[in-house]
Structure 1
Amino acid sequence: MTKLPLLSFIVGTMITSSLSTTVSATIQTQFQLPQGVEYQKAITTPDEFLGYPMGKWHLRHDQLNFYIKNLAEQSPRVALEHSGKSHEDRQQLSLLITSESNHNNIDSILAQRAAVKHGESSKGPLVVWLAYSIHGDEASGVHAAMELSYYLSASNESWVKSLLEETVVIITPSQNPDGMDRFATWANNNRSNTFNADPNNREHHQHWARGRLNHYLADLNRDWLFLRHPESQGRVALFHKWQPHYVGDFHEMGHRSSYFFQPGVPSRTHPLTPQKNQQLTDKIANYHRAALDKVGQPYYSKQSFDDFFYGKGSTYPDINGAIGVLFEQASARGQAQDSPNGVVTLTRAIQNQFATSISSLKGTLALKDELHQYQNDFFKDKQSDSKRQQGVLISTHTDIQRRDEFASLLNQHQIRSHYLTKNVNKADVNFTPNDSLFIPLEQPQSDLITALFDKRTEFEDETFYDVSSFDLAAAFDLTVSEKVSLKAPQFTKNNPTKTSNTIGSNSVAVLLDWQQSASAKVLQQLLANDVIVKYSQKPFSVKHQNTTQNFGAGSLQIHLRQDNISREQLITMLESLSSEHQLKSTAVDTFASVTGGDLGSPDFKAIQLVKPLLITGDGSNPMEVGQIWHYLDNTLKMPVTLTKGSRLKRLKLSDYSHVLFAHGNYNSLDKTTAIALKAFVKQGGTIVAHKGALRWLKKHELLSSELFDSKQAQALFNTNALTFGDQSALRAKQTIGGAIVNVELDLTHPLNYGLSRPQLKIMKNSILALVAEKPFTVSGQYAKQPLSSGFMAQEYQSVYPQKSAVVAESLGRGQVIGFADNLLFRNIWLGSERIYANALFFAPNSL
């Protein structure tokens, strides 16, 4: 055993201020562990491992993982949890730190954790999960986690030993390995030996797209519900494995701030969150207040941040029987940055995050009995063994893949769902075993089920930190019947859907119904293998196995005699793809139809291979760029070229079929770029653009439709007699942060092929709408009652029914397709993403 000496950690350093002169300031440049503590000599300190003081350089993820693996080897208090890999194959590790006796009894503890969800009393050790830096450029968290891991592994303090006897501490140092390394590389590359605190310094301004985001430029702290990324999937699996009592979620905010911890704004807590949850949050907050008072760090709570959207790390626990707490530290975004509160340093930020990590542990330990009781009460009476159960019925309208994707999502949240064994008719909707699920409400995650289908439109407070609705029925384009009572023989755990797609020796063609969402994936694979695929521009029907089968516009035809692939190879490919994607195909023995054009008629057009060019870089919104990239790369398996907008005028655009613009401000693109794009479209190319990109297209006469945006929106609101104090409420009313709206579809339009219902729900998080010049260019218009769920001011609800959501305009031999909203919202909006697929595969041939 050894005692660390009391070092002089506060040293004078020259820093360059944002003022015009170089000033000498005394700032903390090294992290300081609790002093006067006896630490185990055999355990390597972070400084010893790194070979330099913590915080001198920003940590890389490989350094972090090497160190925590080293801790697990050196300390019997430490074991590691593996929760998969990031997109870039970085291993996601968490530390389990507890007493040796608890480690020896870990299987029993896990059994207790699982049992509490089923109504058994919460007992055994408390489980506290501290998770850091889900935004990769919020670096103080990961550094604090590394120090905390050492401290809990090596400290011989009596309170630490008591803590580890009574608690299993889970530490996830980095929740975003790829973003962490992107930021560390930037910050280290731009670090000077003399700290420069000028906020204008390059060190503090990352290149597009910043380390905040993951590989596909997603904000992982918006993915706890949607689970579109492996980092999130592993994290949620870890949560449910351990069912923690408390989750600390450590972040950073702007450098001009101080330090925030929850509770958040009381009036902006989701109504489904128990009041006791917020009371316990505030009780634990007293420990944070004391810890930060002790080190002289200003702080605040109950302002700015809310507890509404359950898709974040501090709110997901609240709907799942735990207490989630958000921490926000002012960020240096480098080593040191000037602020109105003085110089913000990385080291001071680490010290604060360490302090509130310790206060989290001390607070939860002190409230152990209350946390156990809270979890008991949360899961009490939520389980039923009755053979007749009440629940929710959902249907995806013959789309097997979308149903199974929804079932997979529910399963990852440990929500039980069942398949039907026979047809069930409710409110004139036929729910079938092939496209439906039954979700019982009497189960441990019943509150989460309610949240996932929540459709409220009225709120106590109209300000939201994120979206005001997250109704998954809208995202997946589901038909939902609530409060349905079924008997056990009517549902089963086993998926009854079996797709048999035998292609006979006499078959001449194979047909795929485009209503199946997997058809787009299969189409891309066929085109990539030089298979000729045609689609129908009109509905038709054929005779198959003595029955008549109907096919809508957009249905695919693959002729089995092709020049560049043998019949046997093509049949093998089709059968393999159909089996892999659970896709129903129809092999026909004749080109003759029963109704509509025959299969050899001009109604069928060949689909060209899509060669998309996606605009990235300054001006484009990285998260929405990432959503397009993720959709093309992971869903469709389609190669996509990513390039900066500034390079457009130097590229040979005729090498591409589509130029894709995400939301953004493209004012840096000049007239020469516009001329090049106009020539591209006139020669047969397609532009697909979202939201803010439409302003640039309109300015440069690539789009004819008029735009309704924030300038016109301001005139809708009466500001007479408003006081200075009314400004915040007015801004809240004028903001559409994320509401779900109804859009009426023209089902004859090629952009809507495969959609079976005339109304679709989409996420709207911008004011912009379109006013089409010609009615036939409109494929989607906001409904007479536009609001489905969430908050939208009445002023907008009255004006949107006269506006368009989707337009497709011809220009020469090509087209410009404009989306007023992001149809790929966070890659969870599987209903409207089909319109995006149509813009890729059908627009070049149909408009």
Structure 2
Amino acid sequence: MLKTGLFLLSLFCSLSLTSPVIAADLQTGLSISNSNLDPEITSPDAFLGYPLGQWHLRHDQVNYYLQQLARDSAKVSIEHTGQSHEARQQLTAVITSSKNQENLDQILTQRRAVKSGAAQDGPLVIWLAYSIHGDEASGVHAALALSYFLASSRDEWVEDLLDEAIVLITPSQNPDGMDRFSTWTNNYRGQTDVSDSNHKEHRQNWPNGRTNHYFADLNRDLLFLRHPETRGRVALFHKWQPHYVGDFHEMGRDRSYFFQPGAPSRTNPAIPKTNQALTEKLAHFHRAALDELKQSYFSREAFDDFYYGKGSTYPDINGSVGILFEQASPRGQVQITQNGELRLSQAINNQLATSISSLKGSLALKHELIEYQSEFYQGRDKVLQRGRQTGFLLGAPANRERIEDLTQVLAQHKIKFYFLTKTVRQGSLEFTADSSVFIPINQPQKSLILALFDNRTEFKDPTFYDVSSWNLEHAYHLQMIRNSKLDIDVLSSHAPAKFNFQMSKQAVAVLVNWQQDFAAPMLQALLQDNVTVKFAKKPFTIEVTGKAQTFPAGSLQIPLKQPGFSMVEINNKLVKLSEQYPLTLYPVTTSAAISGIDMGSPSFKVIKPIKPLLITGRGTDASEVGELWNYLDSKLAVPVTLVDVDHISKVNLNQYTHVIMVDGTYSSLNKTFARKLGQFTSDGGTVIAQKGALTWLNKNNLLKSDVKDKRFYKQLFDTRGLSYSDKEKLAARQSIGGAIVELKLDPSNPISFGIRGNRLPILKNMAIGLTTSSTPFTVAAKYADEPLLSGYLAKEYQASFSNKPAIVLETLGKGAIVGLADNLMFRNIWLGSEKIYANALYFVPALD
């Protein structure tokens, strides 16, 4: 008997679900055998040189094997869906009959017509996607076993399936995280299996393999599309418009196996009832398959169908039926659990069984799935109107870059939108042609549009597996008219012409409105080239090309007379940067303002180059580290130093301008480091800290503002008279899974510069708050009187947060501490509030 104790997977797959799907033989390694398999098709075992599952797969092995199958079999072709952050190619196997393979172009033409609601006469499309979390390895192994079986099987039911359907198999949806995990677990796997959960094989380093290169959970990104892996995945979805999507995951080792339907009371009300009925019908097939394996399972609890940014729910708002599968995770070869010994081979068996039940269930329900998808896109409200349009009118005044970002997201979701051909006034709001977009409601993607801008605050069940709101109006901080009516003659499918920068020979300086999103990366590029740039502490009005132009506080000035640079050199830099970062630059021919501060005023402060350090490692929140790293690295192009908590005490902080602390416990940092960080700040450094980091700073006497944590807020909830059965309901009310709240800004505080108006929506997902400091002038933002804008937030929290500090700016010696009660960079989609970080980076160090 092999020490690995791996299973032999024998596939006896007939049309009857009561027949054995998988048989186990502990005497041999993991392989697939069946008398009906084509011997000319390379098996995973033969390709790898060892039984599948004996070692955790690397992503390159997965790709090479899919390509081998495509060479071996006329039933297999390959879809390329771009690269990961680390340039790993993302591949999907397209498996169908050789006849269908020859007609893929025609089939894809038919798939492009799906959103018209027309009757469908092509094949069923099934997409099985695995291991979006890189350390959930059973899925990727099952995907290879299934791909081989479909490519090589001569079973009658498989031939019928491939005649009537196209099966898309994506083994790994997170290549970078998968390789991070497999390298770790393989490195600590010995010749003798160790089932102790404390063994390093099962306990990954920080960050673990769940997330991608920038530590993002890709199973939360399908609406926001911040990462290339997701963009490729969503493009594949809309290209094929699958009828059924299986989304295969792992969960805690002490659980059994889950498949949807999820908790009925937590299903998003926008999901059609037919979708849930089909989900239940498909569940019968999964139950039968797992019962045959004597594998226990559960449904209708723990997981939900609410947030549309996940792999199993995005299909539900796009005319498909998405099903979530969760297998207890061995996180290595074998672990001891509450249910006994759990092996990787067992987990693979289960995932393979429900993969096959997905295929059989979809085939059995083929006509119902096709009819459901067609009906989803039928109806007059799913047809684009002619003439006068009704829809959402959105604008980002003085910030065309934000509208460009939004329209890129809309386009990837196949949402139709228009630009304005001229300025439009509606009520008290003005929408300019260069920074506005109009989204007609009546169009095929109406359901998704309403989901993206959903503003609900009332819920039947306040329990959420993820955030309760994700409204893009608030995330982008846009002005919006929800029921706008516009004539077609003011709408255009073409974006307005970009600004072409031209320098006047008489110019003395160039001004940049800081409200523009690209102002910060342009500033960083200039600072790296040693160009002097200043920012205005106060607003001013000055003549620009014969007209009075008002600039808000925070606006940048680039003097054209600078040591070491000629005016031609400065001009060339600005022309190049204006092409790289399409924003509006304003040459001015005088230093005299019409009102407010002049160009030579001491209220224009010189911005110093920055060198930030971001504390990482165990005890810090990896997702928040990744979001800030992504912003600094990808958007600002700032060289940022990442230092783990266990090494930070050895680092000379004086070589950095900023120390950034995300949510975390920081319990391993002692008083000695606290004094060191205090000295760094007193000497002129800036600390940017958020959420849990504030507690550590306060306890170590670095932050004067007091911090209220979850223990304080729990006292607000009346628990008198509650029974044991009320425990879960109370926990749901006390949880802040993610709600959108409003801040009141102090617009004169440099932390608020570049943000339109004095109100700012943010995402709050933690019970933490600040008390008003006795030191004056420190509160940069408070929660609004009635803070909740969208999503669920218990009344107790709403009352307690009301008018309490959310952002503070405290001085300490020559430096400062910027304290944020919330993560204003949430999932890199909160473009409206990311300017707070830019202000802390560039403006705070220049303050008197």
Q: TM-score, normalised by structure 1?
A: 0.96
Give the paired residue count. Answer: 827
Comparing 562-571 and 633-642, the one that deviates more? 562-571
Q: Please point out which of 285, 289, 292 is paired with 1:291.
A: 289
For 2:654, the aligned partner's letter is: S
Aligned residue runs from structure 1 range 748-787, under 5 A: 748-773=748-773, 774-787=775-788
List per-residue Cα deviations over 1:197-255 (Å, max 9, x = no partner).
11121211100000001000000000001110000000000000000001000000000
Q: SS of the counterpart of 1:195?
A: coil
Q: Percent identity?
A: 52
* 2:17 counterpart residue number: none
For 1:798, the aligned partner's letter is: A
Q: Please point out which of 125, 128, 132 is paired with 1:127.
A: 125
Aligned partners of 2:29 and 2:54 also within 8 Å: no
Cα drift, residue 755 of structure 1: 1.2
Aligned partners of 1:251 and 1:329 also within 8 Å: yes
Cα drift, residue 8 of structure 1: 10
Aligned partners of 1:28 and 1:347 also within 8 Å: no
Comparing 324-333 and 483-492, the one that deviates more? 483-492
* 2:360 counterpart residue number: 362
Distance in 2 between residues matched to 1:645 and 1:210, nearest whole Å? 16
Comparing 155-164 and 29-38, the one that deviates more? 29-38
Q: SS of the counterpart of 1:204?
A: coil
Distance in 2 between residues matched to 1:34 and 1:370, nearest whole Å? 32
Distance in 2 between residues matched to 1:342 and 1:30, nearest whole Å? 21
Q: Give the direction of change, closer, same or farther, for the CA distance of 1:8–1:797 in structure 2 (3 Å limit).
A: closer
Q: Give the direction of change, closer, same or farther, for the CA distance of 1:713–1:796 in structure 2 (3 Å limit).
A: same
Distance in 1 between residues matched to 2:847 and 2:767, nearest whole Å? 30
Comparing 680-689 and 487-496, the one that deviates more? 487-496
Q: SS of the counterpart of 2:210?
A: coil
Distance in 2 between residues matched to 1:332 and 1:500, nearest whole Å? 57
The reply to whether residue 466 of structure 1 matches residue 466 of structure 2 is yes
Distance in 2 between residues matched to 1:760 and 1:178, nearest whole Å? 35
* 2:19 counterpart residue number: none
* 1:19 counterpart residue number: none
* 1:663 counterpart residue number: 663
Q: SS of the counterpart of 1:39?
A: coil
List per-residue Cα deviations over 1:807-845 (Å, max 9, x = no partner).
010000000111000000000000000111101110111
Q: Give the direction of change, closer, same or farther, for the CA distance of 1:31–1:249 in structure 2 (3 Å limit).
A: farther
Aligned partners of 2:783 and 2:803 also within 8 Å: yes
List per-residue Cα deviations over 1:556-601 (Å, max 9, x = no partner).
0111122223322211110121122221011111212111221111
Distance in 2 between residues matched to 1:427 and 1:243, nearest whole Å? 40
Distance in 2 between residues matched to 1:123 and 1:321, nearest whole Å? 16
Aligned residue runs from structure 1 range 294-333, under 5 A: 294-333=292-331
Distance in 1 between residues matched to 2:206 and 2:810, nearest whole Å? 31
For 1:838, the aligned partner's letter is: N
Distance in 2 between residues matched to 1:383 and 1:183, nearest whole Å? 46
* 2:215 counterpart residue number: 217
Aligned partners of 2:7 and 2:345 also within 8 Å: no
* 2:390 counterpart residue number: 390
Aligned partners of 2:419 and 2:433 also within 8 Å: yes
Aligned partners of 1:117 and 1:444 also within 8 Å: yes
Aligned partners of 1:30 and 1:55 also within 8 Å: no
Aligned partners of 1:30 and 1:56 also within 8 Å: no
For 2:548, the aligned partner's letter is: T
Aligned partners of 1:762 and 1:829 also within 8 Å: yes
* 2:346 counterpart residue number: 348
Cα drift, residue 417 of structure 1: 1.0
Q: Please point out which of 211, 220, 232 is paired with 1:234.
A: 232
Q: Please point out which of 247, 252, 255 is paired with 2:253.
A: 255
Aligned partners of 2:741 and 2:788 also within 8 Å: yes
Aligned partners of 1:262 and 1:302 also within 8 Å: yes
Q: Give the direction of change, closer, same or farther, for the CA distance of 1:442–1:477 in structure 2 (3 Å limit).
A: same
Distance in 1 between residues matched to 2:102 and 2:198, nearest whole Å? 53
Aligned partners of 1:738 and 1:764 also within 8 Å: yes
Q: SS of the counterpart of 1:117?
A: helix
Aligned residue runs from structure 1 range 149-548, under 5 A: 149-381=147-379, 382-548=382-548
Cα drift, residue 659 of structure 1: 0.1
List per-residue Cα deviations over 1:744-786 (Å, max 9, x = no partner).
0010000011112111100000010111313520111000001
Unaligned runs of 5+ residues in structure 2 are 10-23
Distance in 2 between residues matched to 1:167 and 1:515, nearest whole Å? 51
Distance in 2 between residues matched to 1:30 and 1:647, nearest whole Å? 46
Cα drift, residue 10 of structure 1: 6.5
Aligned partners of 2:399 and 2:515 also within 8 Å: yes
For 2:115, the aligned partner's letter is: K
Distance in 1 between residues matched to 2:505 and 2:25, nearest whole Å? 81
List per-residue Cα deviations over 1:408-436 (Å, max 9, x = no partner).
11111111111011222222111110211
For 1:839, the aligned partner's letter is: A
Aligned partners of 1:119 and 1:383 also within 8 Å: no
Cα drift, residue 35 of structure 1: 5.2
* 1:733 counterpart residue number: 733
For 1:578, the aligned partner's letter is: S
Distance in 1 between residues matched to 2:612 and 2:183, nearest whole Å? 30
Distance in 2 between residues matched to 1:384 and 1:229, nearest whole Å? 30
Q: Give the direction of change, closer, same or farther, for the CA distance of 1:369–1:777 in structure 2 (3 Å limit).
A: same
Distance in 1 between residues matched to 2:726 and 2:6, nearest whole Å? 50
The reply to whether residue 820 of structure 1 matches residue 818 of structure 2 is no
Distance in 2 between residues matched to 1:732 and 1:530, nearest whole Å? 52
Q: SS of the counterpart of 1:288?
A: helix
* 1:60 counterpart residue number: 58
Distance in 2 between residues matched to 1:696 and 1:32, nearest whole Å? 49
Distance in 2 between residues matched to 1:513 and 1:8, nearest whole Å? 63
Distance in 1 between residues matched to 2:739 and 2:834, nearest whole Å? 17
For 2:788, the aligned partner's letter is: L
* 1:706 counterpart residue number: 706
Aligned partners of 2:44 and 2:144 also within 8 Å: yes
Distance in 1 between residues matched to 2:671 and 2:564, nearest whole Å? 43
Distance in 1 between residues matched to 2:756 and 2:350, nearest whole Å? 55
Distance in 1 between residues matched to 2:708 and 2:25, nearest whole Å? 50
Distance in 2 between residues matched to 1:31 and 1:580, nearest whole Å? 55
List per-residue Cα deviations over 1:163-220 (Å, max 9, x = no partner).
0010010000000000000000011001121111111212111000000010000000
Aligned partners of 1:29 and 1:55 also within 8 Å: no
Cα drift, residue 33 of structure 1: 6.0
Distance in 2 between residues matched to 1:373 and 1:441, nearest whole Å? 24
Cα drift, residue 64 of structure 1: 0.8
For 1:78, the aligned partner's letter is: V
Cα drift, residue 388 of structure 1: 1.7
The reply to whether residue 595 of structure 1 matches residue 585 of structure 2 is no
Cα drift, residue 30 of structure 1: 6.1
For 2:461, the aligned partner's letter is: D
Aligned partners of 2:6 and 2:345 also within 8 Å: no
Aligned partners of 1:126 and 1:167 also within 8 Å: yes
Q: Please point out which of 42, 47, 50 is paired with 1:49.
A: 47
Cα drift, residue 542 of structure 1: 1.1
Q: Give the direction of change, closer, same or farther, for the CA distance of 1:137–1:28 in structure 2 (3 Å limit).
A: farther
Aligned partners of 2:250 and 2:326 also within 8 Å: yes
Distance in 2 between residues matched to 1:250 and 1:460, nearest whole Å? 28
* 2:145 counterpart residue number: 147
* 1:835 counterpart residue number: 836
Distance in 1 between residues matched to 2:495 and 2:484, nearest whole Å? 20
Cα drift, residue 846 of structure 1: 2.0
The reply to whether residue 137 of structure 1 matches residue 135 of structure 2 is yes
Q: SS of the counterpart of 1:659?
A: strand
Distance in 2 between residues matched to 1:37 and 1:763, nearest whole Å? 56
Q: SS of the counterpart of 1:156?
A: coil
> Displaced runs of 4+ in structure 1, greater than 4 A?
7-11, 26-36
Cα drift, residue 262 of structure 1: 0.4
Cα drift, residue 376 of structure 1: 0.8
Cα drift, residue 504 of structure 1: 1.6
For 2:832, the aligned partner's letter is: G
Distance in 2 between residues matched to 1:270 and 1:453, nearest whole Å? 14
Aligned partners of 1:31 and 1:351 also within 8 Å: no
* 2:20 counterpart residue number: none
List per-residue Cα deviations over 1:337-383 (Å, max 9, x = no partner).
01111111101101110000000000000000000110011000211
* 1:95 counterpart residue number: 93
Q: SS of the counterpart of 2:548?
A: strand
Aligned partners of 1:309 and 1:467 also within 8 Å: yes
For 1:563, the aligned partner's letter is: P
